[in-house]
Amino acid sequence: MKLNIKAFAITFSLICGLGVFSLTWWIMILNGIAEEKTFLSLIYPGYEISPVGSIIGLLWGLGDGFFGGWIFAWLYNRLVDKCTPS
């Protein structure tokens, strides 16, 4: 069974973007706005534990998730073609 590359990429993009956004707000609710650097702020420039940082993290997560999902689905489809018996 092959994956629809575009649908998989969009779905993975939404999961990653909304995941970063949700976790940022969860941290802000529990601990408040943080000024110290986080691991994600090293990967995503402009990201921080703040309302503006959650939007920046959402955008980075959407882009990162889209390309990661695209590559994964493309690679999966290539491997399925080689591994299925003819």
pLDDT digits (tens, 9 = 90+) for 8-56: 999 999 999 999 999 999 999 998 887 788 888 999 999 999 999 999 9
| Segments in 1-86 forming alpha helices (H) | 5-31, 39-43, 51-83
Quote the pTM value. 0.86
pLDDT of residue 9: 97
- Provide mean pLDDT across the span 54-74: 97
- Provide mean pLDDT across the span 69-86: 90
Calpha distance 49→41 (Å, rounded): 9
**Where residue 86 falls among pLDDT bands split at 50, 70, 90?**
low
Where do we find the tokens 């000024």? 35
As for how many domains the chain has, the answer is 1
